[in-house]
Structure 1
């Protein structure tokens, strides 16, 4: 078969009715190593391949996973998970509590460098193990018998919700020992979820098939996750019948989209914030808060959300989105000013930083390849030129290259950031700005900010904890380490034959809770 024929066949001929669920999934997943997954694209696939001690159903509600039930002590510091009988890996081998514990130990070793291990710092010795100060055996997770896993915590935490994250999925360690980084390839990846890996065509698709060793057969036999970095191309593919479900919808006038797609268009609240980040390790933004604030002030977020994104997004003047349980987000004070007032203040801050017509800022704005990101970057660059006279260069990169450059903080200046919540908790957004966080792409490192997070950990009540976290968010915003732009909505196109698709704040839709009826 000639190169390019397979994607064309999929586009023109559509899915095998009732047999294959065709899902758009955004950029190429950077890995299928559950412990090393850093983004939504890999997490979507991993939730089909794996199951943790606790799972989520199609509406985001917690349900038993590997554990059929769990108990917690009165002080919230000890959790006991009781495993289901007869658990199996996809290769048929037995899966027991000892393997679950061994997998957690691997996730927290420094060599693994799990990007989201910091979310589990409440587990006794978790941070010290990740830093290499203690051996993995000192991690506060034990298996007193083959069907029991016990966690000890240094502070209270919503452990069941955390255990739905890929970092908590069990990894089959014999395959890792035999194949190393290649254990994630088809024919080598051993998983324990409703599906198993059948194929991976780079930059095209990942194919999953029903796992016959899973306790409940998934309603849909096969699932294909398609790489759909360009939202406009994804839309065309959906219209041609090549996708049942899109990852997103490209920026277009909302009334026209509703008229065109009707009930197939699903737009819902989403716990996610989009922001631009500054590289605080390098000039020109290192030790330059006035310059950082000037660029933030110069952006008209109302124009961006009305005319550039245009799908229900809300202008953001803070980091944590509205809707997080039990939390009132902090906000930049000038968010209540008019845009004219903000622009006047922007020019003053720009001059205070030493810039002006005779000395314009020359800056690069970096983003990953995507039509929505390109449109937003163009608009932001135009605002910076018009309001401040800055010279702006745009640079787009393929996802993996972009992620690597952003993480290294060497050549970046301003970059596309953002965060989609892993759990419904404000700390999930704030933790990324601790100096030692693997997701700290800005290099922000402030002892006062860290002290406020620590104070939240020690707070005697949930209300006191929320108050300390709000102080931490306000402290971060005053430093202007990021430029808040908007709060996300989830936006998908879903064909009528797909059943079980439920909107939820974390926008998670495991394939095993979906159904697929014969279409036209």
Structure 2
């Protein structure tokens, strides 16, 4: 759903890359129909054009992006120093190389020679520093501010205690030097997030800087035209990797009442994310089957509790709810080929993920005992419970299990995407469901970034000193084994205290037109448009 943000307005309503559970992975959320054609539709787009199913981004400002759809578009318009390829390997982008110094507490990025903005003006280290300081702007910090807090002085700058000179970021010609508070071997992968995109001066101050006509970017494409139903992107002649093979990308958000599959079949789309149901039969369809692609996703769907207010400020109550439900069974009953039950907040494929299960044990008797111990025997006297959901995998089963096992009625509450996160910020419900797509392939993106005491994404307002200490130890660890052990301790605390319950890990499907090369996503919800080409 389109949402207009004024320059420098905090994007609280689209916090981070959280998506309401019903939202689709990568470019599209739930979109229907086709963009009306003016004449006969070809079997595929012209050789210099690709048409992709994708909803309107909520914002094009990298530091304000909070949803997967916005981030996926921003990644085409603005470039980062590094990039994550489909194998989750960190690759050079604006930076041709980098090095870790001072026992890993300093990262030096070496920018490519003769970098240019899309208008041809030079791009240097000062532009990187200016862009990154916007992430920790005290007046309007990014929803992803947590990713910058490993930079020396970032916390103090955010608190208004030091000026920009007190932050461990500096430009030295074509070098960008970053001083960290702890060893930062994962920092080059962190800054591949679109939040760390390099933008020209004026972004965040002049609304025209993000509109057609005045748009200047650093990515493979520039914003050419915007309508209520379509975004048109044109290739950037000054892109560091050279002009993209495809001249025009059309992001189509209105399919005129038809499904993405129908639009693809009739030639209106060249790339279309689709759901499990369609994928289940398309796999065996002789015409569409060859066009079906599996879309990887490093994502976790989870349930959260408001730990700051009664009754879920009591860990016994949270544990009772967590143990009363057979989460594994509910996810499997959903019957999705691309969703698997979670045993951890960290999805498979993330380095540092343990094979241990951190899912609360299903034990209704223990759940009832915990509830009685907390002062609610048989559910008597328990206050009304509100569950905010955007359409979770487990909605109906969760509510039914709680009522059957604990004698507690849970009231559903749903709302549109634009106001979902405003509600979480301003008036947290008792329980909610969310999905998190990785910003970078790191375990902390699913633990400290979501549940740390100081994290802006900690909607349950949970705080635990032992958890914070375990996360700090993981980030300070000298090797991968020590880090994994510390992350395991952190997850064990989450399992015991139950501020959240991991539900499922998901992936997706898409249809890609025959002959479209490079249509491979990287698991972080992004398809690199500059890598697309038609096989002639």
Q: TM-score range by the shorter chain?
A: 0.7 to 0.9
Structure 1 position 218, deviation (Å): 0.9
Q: Give the conservation status (yes or no) of the 8 Å contact 2:85–2:522.
A: no
Deviation at 1:342, TM superposition (A): 2.8
> Does residue 346 of the first structure (1) align with residue 367 of the second (2)?
yes
Q: Which moved more, 1:474-483 or 1:323-332?
A: 323-332
Instruction: Report the CA distance between 1:476 and its aligned residue.
Output: 1.8
Tell me whether 79-88 or 264-273 shows the greater mean CA deviation: 264-273
Offset, 1:227: 4.1
Is the 8 Å Cα contact of residues 34 and 257 (structure 2) preserved in structure 1? no
2:403 pairs with 360, 368, 385, which one? Answer: 385
Change in Cα spacing, 1:472 to 1:326, as seen in structure 2 (3 Å) is closer
1:308-348 per-residue CA deviation (whole Å, 9 max, x = no partner) reads 2512322113211233224315533654xxxxx63343344
Q: How many residues align?
A: 498
* TM-score normalised over the length of structure 2: 0.84
Deviation at 1:451, TM superposition (A): 1.6
* Partner of residue 16 from structure 1, selected from 20, 45, 50: 45
Give the deviation of 1:512 after TM superposition: 0.8
1:63 pairs, out of 81, 84, 91, with 91
Hey, what's the Cα distance between the residues in 2 that align with 1:229 and 1:300?
Answer: 39
Q: Does 1:206 align with 2:239?
A: no
- Pick from 261, 268, 272 the counterpart of residue 246 of structure 1: 272
Contact 2:517 2:532 (C-alpha < 8 Å) held by counterparts:
yes
1:129 aligns with 2:157: yes
1:338 matched residue in structure 2: none
Equivalent in 444, 452, 458 of residue 427 of structure 1 = 444
State the shift of 1:481 in Å.
0.8
Q: Distance in 2 between matches of 1:273 and 1:229?
A: 29
Contact 1:59 1:509 in 2 (8 A): no
Distance 1:303 1:257 in 2: 27
CA contact (8 A) 2:300 2:436 kept: yes
- Residue 194 (1) aligns with residue 211 (2): no
CA distance in 1, matches of 2:302, 2:39: 34
* TM-score in terms of structure 1 length: 0.86
Distance 1:88 1:342 in 2: 60
Query: What's the CA shift string for 1:431-483, capped at 9, x where partnerless?
Result: 22112212111111122211222222333333222211211121122111112
Counterpart CA distance in 2 for 1:366 and 1:235 is 30
Q: List, as ranges, runs of 4+ consecutive aligned residues in structure 1 with deviation greater than 6 Å.
A: 228-232
Q: Where do 5+ consecutive residues of structure 1 fail to align?
A: 336-340
Q: Select between 222-231 and 92-101 the one with higher mean Cα deviation.
A: 222-231
Query: Structure 2 unaligned runs (5+)?
Result: 1-31
Cα distance in 2, alignment partners of residues 316 and 402 from structure 1:
24
Deviation at 1:486, TM superposition (A): 0.8
1:273 matched to 2:291: no
Return the match for 1:218 from 244, 251, 259.
244
Comparing 325-334 with 87-96, greater Cα deviation is found at 325-334
**8 Å contact 1:235–1:250 — kept in the other structure?**
no
SS in 2 for 1:8: coil
Counterpart Cα distance in 2 of 1:259 and 1:24: 23
Report 1:475-514 matches (<5 A).
Answer: 475-502=493-520, 504-514=522-532
Q: Work out the CA distance in 1 between the residues paired with 2:408 and 2:221.
A: 51
1:98/1:382 CA distance change after superposition, 3 Å: same
| Mapped pair 1:7 → 2:35 | yes
